[in-house]
Amino acid sequence: MRIFKFGGASVKDADGVKNLAKVLKTTGYDNTLVVISAMGKTTNRMELVIKNYFENKDQLQSAIHDVIKCHNDILVDLFENNRHQVFTDVKAFFDELNAFFKSNKSPDYNYVYDQVIGYGELISTTIISHYLNEIGLKNNWVDVREFVKTDNYYRRSNVNWEKTQENISSNLNTNILNITQGFLGSDANNFTTTLGREGSDYTAAIFAYCLNADSVTIWKDVPGVLNADPRYFENAQLLHQISYREAIELAFYGASVIHPKTLQPLQQKEIPLYVKSFLNPEADGTCVSKGKALVPEVPCFIVKKNQTLISLSSLDFSYIMEENISEIFSLLHLYKMKVDVIQNSAISFSVCIDNLFDNLEKLLQHLKAKFKVVCHNNVSLYTIRHYNDIAVKELEKDKEVLLKQLAQGTVQIVTK
């Protein structure tokens, strides 16, 4: 059994869908489950729909229409017969979306987000499943929400592994090509949940773990895992083979090629992960597998933009003690801040965070009641794995360094 995952960039238009079919024909598709994200920038468009629902209802239908148009353009390019069943199925999802907005009574943004955002994946997989059937690649469309069960921590749900294992082992027909959605699950009340942005890789790993798959392949628009993001760094190099541990470290620090949670379930069962180019499916790409010696021989650069650096000090110049640090972390947890770097001294504490849930102002107000607070918005966090002096100096060139932290094998630098 193999698990394939295709992201939004790979199916952003009709040509992308046709290329997905080409990849399946090239690599084979027997005993294969394909996890697919929303098409192109659909998730961003759906986030605008949600924003308008809460803040600008006059623009809600306009935002929904924009999503409809993008998908209809792809449908028209893929299907000559405008009476094809796929048009009816896609329309049914948009009708369901509008019905939710009319009936919803919950003011909880995170709950609404999860009920709405996943229509991108549901629609993309419906279109692709119909197209593959149309060209002779017979497949089964699977609603992932019937298989992946989670808690109700909306927008970053935790998997109920026991229930998910039971569902997948008992109910998934592995004798046919299966098409399903990434990113989504459902809670005990069957409300839709999500696994966090870019969570489709994690979905692939969940199925791989539960099916004891032979491998997982993530199909990207890059040749594999690179030592740097080519959008921000010149002369990026392909890492042909790395260990699970190294991949987990890179993902933890923010490498965008692999979702941070993806590696743990694969490592537990020693299922190899391949990262390959959907533009060149026969190339080797990168293999992530067991092996202590599989460490990159070059520095690996990771950058996270639009971070926030908060520096705290006591109001009376007293020490920042354990109870202070405990209280700070309780507040970070309360306001769902993702912590990327911490640094403390006797009378100060600094933390670089990712304001994923837009709770920064609430957090700052809470902190200002007990600490002197300095906040730097829109900073960049650079991480270099296997750094050397040349790499660090080149990175710091022409930048204002706000925080720098060195550990064995890794340096992190916050710049403005």
Residue ranges for the known binding site for ATP are 231
Q: Considering only the C-alpha atoms of the chain, give the largest distance between any 2 of them, rounded to a whole number of Å.
A: 74
Where are any strands of DSSP class E within 100-172? 139-141
Q: Which helix (H) or strand (E) holds 304?
A: strand 300-314
**Mapping DSSP to helix (H, G, I), strand (E, B) and coil, where does residue 296 land?**
coil
Number of C-beta neighbours around residue 183 at 10 A: 27
Cβ atoms within 10 Å of 96's Cβ, excluding its own: 11
Instruction: For residue 185, give the nearest of 172, 194, 198, 177 by alpha carbon.
Output: 194
Q: Which two tokens stand for residue 303?
A: 């950058």
Residues placed in the known binding site: 231
Q: Which residue in 404, 50, 33 sits closest to 213, CA to CA?
A: 33
d(CA 201, CA 166): 21
CA proximity to 296, closest of 220, 234, 232, 384 = 384
According to DSSP, the β-strands at 32-36 and 177-181 are parallel
β-strands 192-194, 184-186 pairing = antiparallel
